[in-house]
């Protein structure tokens, strides 16, 4: 990861990097950790992290990645465990985005709504206000999920949340789906 590259994708500020709702952020981090931990051993190795970043279009120099991540790996571990990964994420968040202090939402509900809007934008690649099966498939493929390789499965995912049966997911449908999937912990 270049420290001076103005074209470096990692340095590009994106409000979708950090969710404002702590419970959603923790859940999202766990899901990302599980995706990156390809062999399911509870650790993200440098190779697994490098492969995940490459799939997301963030090609990093392995030696730069190693120097950045190595200090977060506990002695005797083969890679980052979830706590190490969370610490790394927090440090990157503070370094690149100013940490949690940037949140100006006045309530947890508005923070959650803003997070959902950002998440929706990730899937709505063409910005038309809808998530099509093709757009969903493209994101699933980028994340390396097996569902992304079968359009039939992607279409079933769309149908399962498409209340008005127009063949695509609007923001309201997306929000309803996310509220069912993400149950806040109390």
Token match 């063949």: residue?
A: 167
On average, the pLDDT of the chain sits at 77
Q: What is the mean pLDDT of residues 78-100?
A: 79
Residues 128 and 82 in one domain: no
- Residue 2 is assigned to a structural domain of this protein: no
* Structural domain span for residue 73: 22-93
Q: What is the pLDDT of residues 57-77, one digit of tens each?
A: 777 888 888 888 999 999 999
Domain holding 176: CATH number? Answer: 1.10.238.10
In the chain, the number of structural domains is: 2
**What is the tens place of the pLDDT at every residue in 27-43?**
778 888 888 999 999 99
Reported as type and span, the H/E element at residue 35 is helix 22-36
87-96 contacts: CB < 8 A, separation 24 or more?
89/29, 93/17, 93/18, 96/10, 96/11, 96/13, 96/17
Tokens of 39: 């062999």
Tell whether 58 is covered by a domain.
yes
Residue 119 contacts residue 178 (beta carbons within 8 Å)? yes
């Amino acid at each position: 990861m270049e420290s001076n590259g103005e074209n470096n994708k990692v340095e590009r500020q994106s409000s979708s990097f950090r969710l404002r709702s702590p419970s959603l952020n923790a859940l999202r981090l766990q899901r990302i950790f599980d995706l990156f931990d390809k062999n399911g051993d509870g650790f993200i190795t440098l190779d697994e992290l490098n492969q995940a970043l490459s799939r997301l279009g963030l090609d990093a120099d392995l030696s730069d990645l190693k120097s950045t991540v190595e200090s977060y790996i506990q002695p005797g571990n083969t890679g980052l465990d979830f706590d190490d990964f969370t610490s790394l994420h927090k440090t990157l968040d503070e370094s690149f985005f100013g940490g949690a202090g940037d949140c100006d939402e006045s309530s947890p509900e508005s923070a959650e709504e803003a997070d959902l809007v950002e998440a929706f934008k990730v899937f709505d690649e063409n910005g038309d206000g809808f998530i099509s099966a093709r757009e969903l498939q493209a994101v699933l493929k980028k994340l390396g999920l097996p569902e992304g390789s079968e359009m039939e499965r992607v279409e079933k995912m769309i149908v399962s949340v498409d209340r008005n049966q127009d063949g695509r997911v609007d923001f309201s449908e997306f929000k309803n789906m996310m509220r069912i999937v993400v149950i806040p912990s109390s």
